[in-house]
Amino acid sequence: TQLLEQSPQFLSIQEGENLTVYCNSSSVFSSLQWYRQEPGEGPVLLVTVVTGGEVKKLKRLTFQFGDARKDSSLHITAAQPGDTGLYLCAGANFGNEKLTFGTGTRLTIIP
């Protein structure tokens, strides 16, 4: 069974600070996706990474896929209250579109 562990589980920081969320597995994934979910809504896809070592940037968010394709990180620069939400990583393997979700990181940005 493939598992994805996220850390930290909860994070509360002041507006303007930087933060990093980690997603780790003992298994290799063909791709890894990051989602943000707000209360009462479905997850919204932020990014997909597929190549080991790949780095993608989305405005103030930087996503990295580990060289061995077992882990990923999400770094947010100058966090804003609008970044508040549940961040989920999810791994997928080619030929099997099932997503294995991480345990989630609940981020709160304090104005």
Partner 1 sequence: ETGVTQSPTHLIKTRGQQVTLRCSSQSGHNTVSWYQQALGQGPQFIFQYYREEENGRGNFPPRFSGLQFPNYSSELNVNALELDDSALYLCASSLGGLAATYEQYFGPGTRLTVT
Query: What distance in Å separates the CA atoms of residue 18 and residue 20, rounded to the nearest whole number?
Result: 7
Least Å from the CB of residue 88 to partner 1: 5
Which part of the chain contacts partner 1 (CB under 8 A), choosing from 12-20, 61-69, 77-85, 100-108? 100-108
The DSSP letter of residue 35 is: E
Structure tokens at 78: 């100058």
Least Å from the CB of residue 22 to partner 1: 15
101 binds partner 1 (CB under 8 A): yes
Spatial contact of 30 and 90, defined as CB atoms under 8 Å apart: no
- Cα 74 to its chain centre, rounded Å, is 5
Which part of the chain contacts partner 1 (CB under 8 A), choosing from 14-22, 43-51, 54-62, 65-73? 43-51
Structure tokens at 45: 């896809």
Binding region for partner 1 (CB under 8 A): 30-31, 33, 35, 40-45, 48, 50, 88, 90, 92, 94, 96-104
